[in-house]
Amino acid sequence: MKNLKFLLIGTLFGIILIKAEVISWFRIQEMFRFQSFHMYGIIGSAIVVGMISLLVIKKYNIKTFSGEEIKIAPKEFTKGNIFGGLMFGLGWAMTGACPGPLYALIGSGLPIVIVVLLSAVFGTYMYGVLKDKLPH
Amino acid sequence: MNILLQPWPWYVAGPLIGLMIPLLLLAGNKAFGISSTLRHICAACIPTKAPFFTYNWKAESWNLIFALGMILGGFIAGYLLKNPNPIELSESAVADMNKLGIKNYSGLIPSDIFNFHALLTLRGFILMVVGGFLIGFGTRYAGGCTSGHAIMGLSNLQFPSLIATCCFFAGGLIMTWFVLPYIMNL
């Protein structure tokens, strides 16, 4: 039952994604065509709030609710950030969704998106199989 | 109630998304990110000996529960808090998408392209199946998605996340401006 809180936070996140329309193919097209501030405002303000939160957590050495030290693993640079990033971007503009939105869209009553999710799972599987042969 | 039914403006939704970061850290020392769920699904469901998928995925089950919550949240927002009106897109965006052959703007995604019949057409197959594959392959290769890199990584001032986010965007621009018009004409 210790995972129940993550179910609740996930539910909240799913509601936000749908209500903010960031899961919309139309909105993603609008973003990549620079025709609306909406998506930039959302991503930008999310980063600012995230950044301030992390600064506060670090500065005041805030612990988790259960009293643990908060630790965030640093991201390591690989060539995958570039090659994988470009591939992800192509897919993002094609489907109008990234992994989070896929889940929220399925829940919102669009079973066709299950196809995109299964294909994304297969893509991740193929990466796992080919990993050692790819430049990193 | 009306406020909940209307689409939420960026200055409400953006900060709320940003708050996911401290919420997950405080709740259980978890780094905000979604794309790892795809890996956990592989590890849990596909019988494979590939070392990338032989790890204790159950230790990361919070991430799958989080994704389950997102489906539930999608249901709540999509049915109970449903916006009765079409998305208010900019006129220029609608003009451009009309040119691509989009006719139906009523839902969250264009039902002209994304439906089960279209899956059997070359255009639909490329957009849904190939597009989905690129998301799944690319996100793991890049080490994260829009949440893990663009939001969590940039908030935490991670240089690799900056590179990845720029490449996400570059890939999206290349697709939108140079490739999508051809795919839409198939």
Q: What does the pLDDT look like over A34-83, one tens digit per residue?
A: 999 999 999 999 999 999 999 999 999 999 999 999 999 999 999 999 99
Structure tokens at B28: 């259980």
Q: Name the pLDDT band for A2 (thresholds 50, 70, 90).
A: confident
pLDDT band at B181 (very low <50, low <70, confident <90, very high): very high
Q: A93 and B133 in contact by Cβ < 8 A?
A: no
Asked if pLDDT for residue B100 goes beyond 80, the answer is yes
What's the confidence (pLDDT) of residue B135? 97
Chain A residue whose CA is closest to B79: A108
Nearest alpha carbon to residue B39 among B14, B70, B7, B67? B67
Q: Count Cβ atoms below 10 Å from residue B165 Cβ, excluding itself.
A: 24
| CA distances to A3, A63, B33 from A66, in Å | 14, 8, 21
Q: How far is CA B169 from CA A93, B20, B186, in A?
A: 9, 22, 25
B53: its two tokens: 């998928």
pLDDT at B84 over 90: no
Contact B48 A118 (CB under 8 A): no
Residues 6+ apart with CB under 8 A from B163: A77, A81, A82, A85
pLDDT for residue B155: 96
pLDDT at residue number B27: 95
Q: Chain B residues with CB inside 8 Å of A84's CB?
A: 137-143, 164, 167
Q: Is the predicted pLDDT of residue A86 greater than 80, yes or no? A: yes
pLDDT for B58: 93
Mutation target to probe the A interface, by most A beta carbons within 10 A, among B20, B83, B108, B115 is: B108
- Buried b vs exposed e over B100-138: b needs ≥16 C-beta within 10 Å? bebeeeebbbbbbbbeeebeeeeebbbbbbbbbbbbbbb
CA distance A29 to A96: 7
Mean pLDDT across chain A:
95
Q: Token match 């594959």: residue?
A: B133
Nearest by CB: B22 against A53, A110, A115: A53
Confidence of residue B3 (pLDDT cuts 50, 70, 90): confident
The candidate with the shortest Cα–Cα distance to B141, out of A89, A44, A58, is A89
The pLDDT, as a whole number, for residue B49 is: 87
Tokens of B145: 């998605």
CB contact under 8 Å between B71 and A103, yes or no, is yes
How large is the angle between the packed helices A25-32 and A38-59, nearest 10 degrees?
A: 90
For every residue of B45-77, DSSP letters joined together read: HS----GGG-S-GGGGHHHHHHHHHHHHHHHII
First-to-last CA distance in chain A? 39
Alpha carbon distance B97, B105 (integer Å): 10
| Predicted confidence (pLDDT) at residue A104 exceeds the cutoff of 70 | yes
The number of C-alpha atoms within 13 Å of A39 and in the hemisphere containing its C-beta is 23
Q: Tell me the percentage of chain A whose pLDDT exceeds 70.
A: 99
Could you tell me where the beta strands, DSSP code E, fall in A7-127? none
ipTM (interface predicted TM): 0.95
Distance between CA B114 and CA A119 in Å, rounded?
14
pLDDT band of residue B1 (cuts 50, 70, 90) is low
Contacts of A20 in chain B (CB under 8 A): 7-8, 10, 12-14, 17
Letter for the amino acid at B27?
A: A
A1 pLDDT exceeds 80? no
pLDDT score for B2: 76
Domain ranges of chain B: 1-85, 90-186
